[in-house]
């Protein structure tokens, strides 16, 4: 067996996108947003999706996250075909398989930092997640701010709460949409460093949308979109590919 064949068989695809198209109908006119996207992302990889405004990058992330449905094509997350799931089933997949980091934090104002981090665990896991939530807040430097409400936190601190929340259920996939977009340079660097530290610690696949070339250059792989199409895909080195572990995918 050739080396490349062996590596291919060892790859564990956590995200598979097969000829995905997304369009909207405006009367008799069809507006194409994504024009046949195909991507395979293995376990543990950090992928940056970049492109100008209107390129389709946020639309693609929304499809990967199960927040929207493709007009055509297939999307598989960790062995689950999400392109044809009912909303209740999609919600279950999102809750158990995906951690989210939003540009605008999306914290619940009436909950403390600790309660915000704990909420996904209480909704999607059994048992007591309090220890895990406390551990994550300590890890992002908010051990002394657990009982504070979002309004009492700076933007950088709110985004660090969001980072901790994204990892509380140990999801196989973490998705981030411009996670530093609302932060100044210093806080942006801190949040990105913490995100990559948690990504490395947890071993989750990280898909991040950004317009910042400095952030994209830190990724294992960069996918560039223009006019709804992939115009560049910098695949990782052979050493990364060879390190991937096999897994079985359940087609059901």
pLDDT in tens, 108-141: 999 999 999 999 999 998 889 999 999 999 999 9
Instruction: Check whether 7 has a pLDDT greater than 50.
Output: no
Tens of pLDDT, residues 137-172: 999 999 999 999 999 999 999 999 999 999 999 999
In this structure, is residue 230 part of a structural domain? yes
In this prediction, residue 125 carries a pLDDT of: 87
What is the H or E stretch that residue 224 is in?
Answer: strand 221-226
Question: pLDDT band for position 232 (50/70/90)?
Answer: very high
How sure is the predictor about 10, in pLDDT bands with cuts at 50, 70 and 90? low
Which of 8-12, 48-52, 182-186, 189-193 shows the lowest mean pLDDT across its residues? Answer: 8-12
Which of the four pLDDT bands, split at 50, 70 and 90, describes residue 236? Answer: low
In a domain, 64, yes or no: yes
Band of pLDDT at residue 12, cut at 50, 70 and 90: confident
Domain membership flag for residue 136 = yes
Tokens representing residue 42 in the block: 């293995």
At 54-111, the pLDDT tens digits run: 999 999 999 999 999 999 999 999 999 999 899 999 999 999 999 999 999 999 999 9
Could you tell me if residue 4 is inside a domain? no
Q: Give the number of domains in the chain.
A: 1
For residue 250, being part of any structural domain is answered with no
- Asked if the structure places residue 28 within a domain, the reply is no
Q: How far apart (Å, rounded) are the C-alpha atoms in residues 62 and 157?
A: 25
The domain of 208 spans 46-71+85-235
Residue 40 has pLDDT above 50, yes or no: yes
pLDDT in tens, 158-212: 999 999 999 999 999 999 999 999 999 999 999 999 999 999 999 999 999 998 8
| Mean pLDDT within 212-232 | 94
pLDDT of res. 30? 93
pTM above 0.75, yes or no: yes
Q: Is the pLDDT of residue 3 over 70?
A: no
State the pLDDT at residue 11.
63
Neighbours of 148 (CB within 10 A): 16
Q: 99 has which bridge partners? A: 174
Does any domain span residue 215? yes
* Interatomic CA distance for residues 236 and 26, integer angstroms: 39
DSSP state of 67: S
What's the pLDDT score for residue 61? 95
3 domain-assigned: no
Please give the C-alpha separations between residue 33 and each of 14, 25, 53, 199, 239, in angstroms, as whole numbers.
Answer: 24, 11, 12, 30, 35
Q: Where are the alpha helices (DSSP H) in 183-233?
A: 185-202, 213-216
CATH number at residue 186: 3.40.50.300
Residue 1: pLDDT band (50, 70, 90) is very low
């Amino acid at each position: 067996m050739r080396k490349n064949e062996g590596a291919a068989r060892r790859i564990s695809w956590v995200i598979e996108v097969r000829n995905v198209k997304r369009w909207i109908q405006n009367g008799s006119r069809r507006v194409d947003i994504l024009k046949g996207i195909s991507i395979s992302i293995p376990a543990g990889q950090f992928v940056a999706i970049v492109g100008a405004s209107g390129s389709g990058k946020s639309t693609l992330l929304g499809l990967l996250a199960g927040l929207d449905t493709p007009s055509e094509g297939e999307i598989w997350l960790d062995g689950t075909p999400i392109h044809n799931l009912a909303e209740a089933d999609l919600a279950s997949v999102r809750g158990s398989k995906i951690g989210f980091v939003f540009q605008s934090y999306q914290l619940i104002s009436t909950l403390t930092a600790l309660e915000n981090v704990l909420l996904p665990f209480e909704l999607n896991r059994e048992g007591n997640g309090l220890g895990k939530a406390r551990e994550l807040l300590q890890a992002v430097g908010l051990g002394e701010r657990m009982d504070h409400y979002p309004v009492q936190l700076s933007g950088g601190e709110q985004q660090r709460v969001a980072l901790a929340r994204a990892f509380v259920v140990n999801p196989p996939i973490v998705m981030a949409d411009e996670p530093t977009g609302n932060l100044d340079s210093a806080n942006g660097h801190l949040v990105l460093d913490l995100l990559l530290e948690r990504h490395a610690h947890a071993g989750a696949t990280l898909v991040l949308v950004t317009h910042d070339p400095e952030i994209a250059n830190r990724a294992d792989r960069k996918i560039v979109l223009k006019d709804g199409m992939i115009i560049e895909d910098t695949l990782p080195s052979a050493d990364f590919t060879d390190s991937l572990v096999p897994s079985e995918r359940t087609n059901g």
